[in-house]
């Protein structure tokens, strides 16, 4: 069986608050059938 492709794919995500870097070069794939939660 072939591997499923991501429903959503994001690459190189970054976030900074003033001089504080909180995310650097984050990759995210949301695959079919998975459950995710984002907090923040």
pLDDT digits (tens, 9 = 90+) for 19-38: 999 999 999 999 999 998 88
| % the chain with pLDDT above 90 | 78
Please state, in angstroms and as integers, the Cα–Cα distance from residue 13 to each residue in 6, 16, 23, 25, 33, following that order: 17, 11, 7, 5, 23
Tally Cβ neighbours within 10 Å of residue 31: 13
Q: What is the pLDDT of residue 21?
A: 96
On whether the pTM is more than 0.75, the answer is no
pLDDT at 5 over 70: yes
Q: Which of 1, 2, 12, 5 is nearest to 32 (CA)?
A: 5
pLDDT at 1 over 70: no
Mean pLDDT of the chain: 91
């Amino acid at each position: 069986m072939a591997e499923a492709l991501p429903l959503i794919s994001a690459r190189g995500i970054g976030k900074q608050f003033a001089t504080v870097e909180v995310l650097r070069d984050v990759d995210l794939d949301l695959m079919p059938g998975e459950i995710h939660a984002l907090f923040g």
